[in-house]
Chains A and B, each alone.
Chain A
Amino acid sequence: MTTLTPTPAGPPDLTPDSTADTRALLAGMDTRRRVTDKVMTGLVVASFVIALIPLISVSWTVLSNGLDRFNLNFLSVSMRGVFGGMDAGGIYHAIMGTLEITALAALISVPIGLLAAIYLVEYGRGALAHTVTFFVDVMTGIPSVVAGLFAYALFAVVFGPGVRFGVVGAVALSVLMIPVVVRSCEEMLRLVPNELREAALALGVPKWLTVVKVVLRTAIAGIGTGIMLAVARVIGETAPLLITVGVIDSINFNVFDGRMMTLPVYVYRQYSQGLVPCNDPAAICIPTINYDRAWAAALTLILIVMLLNLAARLLTRVFAPKTAR
């Protein structure tokens, strides 16, 4: 199968001169261009390396400073009765507060977000859909502190000024979470191939049942991933909770009454209390105890966020063959 043209021994019009010319021609471009290309390649690589510095630095400092205090006792006690440089205190109340408030926020955001995404993908036509799409995007840009102010202002109308309890914080977080849920659910629903919908509709299944039984079922893993990432995003929010839920040293499980502690606010609270003056040499006193607790709580927070991210990725991976075609 390899019939070839007989190659002439030496091409007739090839002279040593033209070969030398060609060699010079192909040797390369001028120095300026070569240097520019090298320099820009260097800068592009450098910018990536530079971005790794804060990532590694944050992870390393949080890990090395937080690991000391990060133990079972720290996770299982509150700050009740802890003062000064006492070698005590933990984040149990903050973890509970964070879990409850975040769960409540998810409970509010997920139905609204998912339904809105269904509206946009399955029913949305015309001006309303365009407006919703646009403002969902705009809503992702609301500063978290403004979301906190909104929740406070909303509840203050009913309960009067100075209102602070868990639900208010959950509402503030919902404002931040809803657009994220809508975006990710929308994306996942759009990935469901149209043929599936058409097949179901052709069988005489009503549209709403098609959406619930076919579209949602196909996209369920992706939606789960999206929700987890949304939770991971709001679980670290500090400013809105500082405003709406406040700070407290003891455990409060009731989201409908009274201040609650949350993990990010705890980190801030410990940080802002600063160094402890240790004047009595007889008593056990750790000057940096507040910072130590802040680092350990930050470590806990990062671990929770990373676990959520990891779980979200695993979920996509496990269900990948069903969602991705």
Chain B
Amino acid sequence: MAKRIDVKDLNIYYSDFLAVADVSVDIEPNSVTAFIGPSGCGKSTFLRTLNRMHEVIPGARVEGKVAMDGVDLYGEGVDPVAVRRSIGMVFQRPNPFPTMSIAENVLAGVRLNNRRISKGDAQDLVESSLRGSNLWNEVKDRLTRPGSSLSGGQQQRLCIARAIAVRPQVLLMDEPCSALDPISTLAIEDLISELKDNYTIVIVTHNMQQAARVSDRTAFFNIAGSGLPGRLIEVDATSTMFSSPREKATEDYISGRFG
């Protein structure tokens, strides 16, 4: 199921402001790619262009090419709605729909395309998705309770279950652990390692230890100053990045000299 994404010469704008410049990077299937870098360097903005969530903001646009298995996501004949369905996203703060139960939350995306899903299929899908996100054992007895009744870490795993229930090819995670306590963070990190068997995963993180723990490849973004665009400095296998980066800026950032 997992697919690759190839980005070529991507410029990202908010109206006339160039936020991220000239990014080219390949994201391998069935791997975890981490984006790291100081605040405001455009790593989250870049992540949002990978499933066309960037253009939701008024005035936001991109130039360049983002291809999934060779198909340009911004090309003709491509529907942004279908793109977002194929490339799921998990946000910084857990955001289960407050008016829906746990089970309904898991099914929220599925119901869009298949309104008359049978009860048995729905139950199976809820179970497999919640198992997939390591949440099943904790919530199997209270599937009809509101999603907001869960703890923060559980809510985030519910959001992951909701994202994988629609069977995407790629899963984007925008600092999924930044609002969570260490134990919940650990649970999510374990989950990420399991999920890469089936999905291509891209994760933005502030936490370099996290990038080192979960990712196969790491991309370092940086910004030269305020008002200037963020840029991709280098990308390589995570072990290489953390032991012998090619760029001085990467080394400085990783060793904690700034950021």
Direct contact between A and B in the complex (CB less than 8 angstroms)? yes
Q: Which residues of A contact B (CB under 8 A)?
A: 1-5, 7-8, 11, 13-14, 18-19, 21-23, 25-30, 33
Complex formed: what's the CA distance from A14 to B38 in Å? 34
Contact B113 A7 (CB under 8 A): no
- Name the one of A2, A11, A23, A25 contacting B6, with C-beta atoms under 8 angstroms: A11
Q: Knowing that A7-B24, A22-B3 are A-B contacts, what are 9 other residue pairs whose CB atoms are under 8 Å apart, sorted by A's residue number?
A: A5-B25, A11-B4, A13-B4, A18-B69, A18-B70, A19-B71, A26-B71, A27-B82, A28-B81
Residues on A with C-beta less than 8 A from B212 are none
Known: A11-B4, A26-B82, A27-B79. A5 touches B26 (CB 8 A): yes
Complex formed: what's the CA distance from A295 to B6 in Å? 68
- Name the one of B29, B233, B246 contacting A1, with C-beta atoms under 8 angstroms: B233
**Whose C-beta in chain A lies nearest to the C-beta of B70?**
A19
Residues on A with C-beta less than 8 A from B233 are 1, 3
Number of A-B contacts (CB under 8 A): 76
Q: Mark B216-240, 1 if CB is under 8 A from A, else 0.
A: 0000000010000001111110000
Q: 4 nearest interchain CB pairs?
A: A28-B79, A19-B70, A22-B69, A22-B71
Residues on A with C-beta less than 8 A from B73 are 26
Known: A25-B86, A26-B68. A14 touches B26 (CB 8 A): no
Contact A8 B26 (CB under 8 A): yes
**Whose C-beta in chain B lies nearest to the C-beta of A16?**
B70
Known: A11-B6, A14-B70, A33-B112. A26 touches B86 (CB 8 A): yes
**Shortest CB distance A18–B (Å):** 5
Complex formed: what's the CA distance from A288 to B73 in Å? 67
**Whose C-beta in chain B lies nearest to the C-beta of A30?**
B113
Contact B69 A21 (CB under 8 A): yes
Residues on A with C-beta less than 8 A from B236 are 5
| B22 interface residue (CB < 8 Å to A) | yes
Residues 88-132 of B contacting A (Cβ, < 8 Å): 112-113
Known: A14-B4, A18-B3, A25-B86. A4 touches B70 (CB 8 A): no
Contact B82 A25 (CB under 8 A): yes
Residues on A with C-beta less than 8 A from B70 are 11, 14, 18-19, 22
Q: Which residues of B contact A (CB under 8 A)?
A: 3-4, 6, 8, 22, 24-26, 29, 68-71, 73, 77-79, 81-83, 85-86, 112-113, 169, 224, 231-236, 246-247
**Shortest CB distance A38–B (Å):** 12
Complex formed: what's the CA distance from A134 to B95 in Å? 33
Contact B232 A4 (CB under 8 A): yes
**Whose C-beta in chain B lies nearest to the C-beta of A28?**
B79
Complex formed: what's the CA distance from A33 to B111 in Å? 11
Complex formed: what's the CA distance from A23 to B169 in Å? 13
**Whose C-beta in chain A lies nearest to the C-beta of B73?**
A26
Complex formed: what's the CA distance from A29 to B112 in Å? 10
Complex formed: what's the CA distance from A18 to B29 in Å? 13
Complex formed: what's the CA distance from A8 to B3 in Å? 16
Contact A26 B83 (CB under 8 A): yes
- Name the one of A2, A19, A27, A33 contacting B69, with C-beta atoms under 8 angstroms: A19
Contact B6 A29 (CB under 8 A): no
Contact A29 B81 (CB under 8 A): yes
Contact B113 A27 (CB under 8 A): no
Complex formed: what's the CA distance from A325 to B63 in Å? 36
Contact A29 B82 (CB under 8 A): yes
Residues on B with C-beta less than 8 A from A19 are 69-71
**Shortest CB distance B51–A (Å):** 11
**Shortest CB distance B84–A (Å):** 10
Complex formed: what's the CA distance from A2 to B71 in Å? 25
**Shortest CB distance A11–B (Å):** 6
Residues on A with C-beta less than 8 A from B4 are 11, 13-14
A-B contact pairs, 15 of them (CB 8 A): A3-B233, A4-B25, A7-B6, A7-B24, A7-B26, A11-B6, A14-B69, A19-B69, A22-B3, A22-B68, A25-B82, A25-B169, A27-B79, A28-B82, A29-B79
**Shortest CB distance A282–B (Å):** 69
Complex formed: what's the CA distance from A18 to B73 in Å? 15
Complex formed: what's the CA distance from A28 to B81 in Å? 7
- Name the one of B77, B235, B246 contacting A23, with C-beta atoms under 8 angstroms: B77
Complex formed: what's the CA distance from A18 to B1 in Å? 10
Complex formed: what's the CA distance from A28 to B73 in Å? 12
**Shortest CB distance A229–B (Å):** 29
Residues on B with C-beta less than 8 A from A11 are 4, 6, 26, 70
Complex formed: what's the CA distance from A260 to B71 in Å? 78
Contact A26 B112 (CB under 8 A): no
Complex formed: what's the CA distance from A317 to B235 in Å? 51
**Shortest CB distance B251–A (Å):** 13
Known: A13-B4, A27-B78, A33-B112. A1 touches B71 (CB 8 A): no
Residues on B with C-beta less than 8 A from A25 are 82, 86, 169
Residues on B with C-beta less than 8 A from A13 are 4, 29
**Whose C-beta in chain A lies nearest to the C-beta of B224?**
A1
Residues on A with C-beta less than 8 A from B29 are 13
**Whose C-beta in chain B lies nearest to the C-beta of A4?**
B24
